[in-house]
Amino acid sequence: MVGQAIDMGPRSVPLPQGRWTVVSEEGLSERRAKIRRVVIAELEHNVLSRWMYVSTSVENNRDEWKRNKSVCDKKNVHFAYSDSNNSDKDIKCWVVNQYGMTMGNDPHQAWINFYRWSDTLGRPNTAVGLEYYFVKNGDFLLVGFYVNPVLDGFPDTPTAEWRGNPWHPDLASKDPKRLAYLRALKAMGEKYFEQLRTVLR
């Protein structure tokens, strides 16, 4: 069981309150630097409730990490914040979005392990969540926080497809119940952003 923060080598990453369990870990060396990836999760009555992906450099990279366009420049999301620094040396951005729960074309081993682990635990076709990306002084931090909306009374989507999904911004913005749910998630995300933005020093 993980406490209020998770140790990621040279830094500690704060976590939202919960009963988190480490599901998958991966350490690897890339051309730029050594990286650590961890997936943690929380169950409710043996059903996947919330889960997180945390990835960070554990070795400084003087060549700077590049901007993560899938977080910092993603369009058609429920909310997006990106700094105006225009610098790869200091990046802060985050989004509120929907996520089709498929592994994609080239998943990391940490994600593969998570999908295998959660196959029989009620993983939804569509999750909603928050993603954050930070770069400072040659280090990066990527954090994803995802929620199973089925446990909060919403029907699961028939598929994980983006278009036509009831959680798509064009549709969810017209649904008062979903809109209120997303606004509450954004409010939580704003507070969590303030905690995460000081992790890299």
- Asked if the structure places residue 130 within a domain, the reply is yes
User: Under DSSP, is residue 185 helix (H, G, I), strand (E, B) or coil?
Assistant: helix
- Asked if the structure places residue 109 within a domain, the reply is yes
- Asked if the structure places residue 201 within a domain, the reply is no
Domain membership of residue 78 as a residue range: 5-196
- Asked if the structure places residue 162 within a domain, the reply is yes
- CA–CA distance, 8 with 57 (Å, rounded to integer): 9
When the pLDDT of each residue in the chain is averaged and rounded to a whole number, the result is: 93
For 158, the enclosing helix (H) or strand (E) is: none
Q: What is the mean pLDDT of residues 145-174?
A: 96
**Residue with the larger pLDDT of the pair 32 and 132:** 132
Cβ atoms of 36 and 46 closer than 8 Å: no
Number of domains in the chain: 1
- Asked if the structure places residue 14 within a domain, the reply is yes
CA angle 178, 81, 185 (to 5 degrees): 30
| pLDDT at residue 84, as a whole number | 84
- Asked if the structure places residue 46 within a domain, the reply is yes
- For the segment 5-39, what is each residue's pLDDT rounded down to a tens digit? 999 988 999 999 999 999 999 987 666 678 899 99
The dihedral sign for the CA sequence 94, 70, 84, 9 = positive
* pLDDT tier, 61 (very low <50, low <70, confident <90, very high otherwise): confident
- CA–CA distance, 199 with 63 (Å, rounded to integer): 20
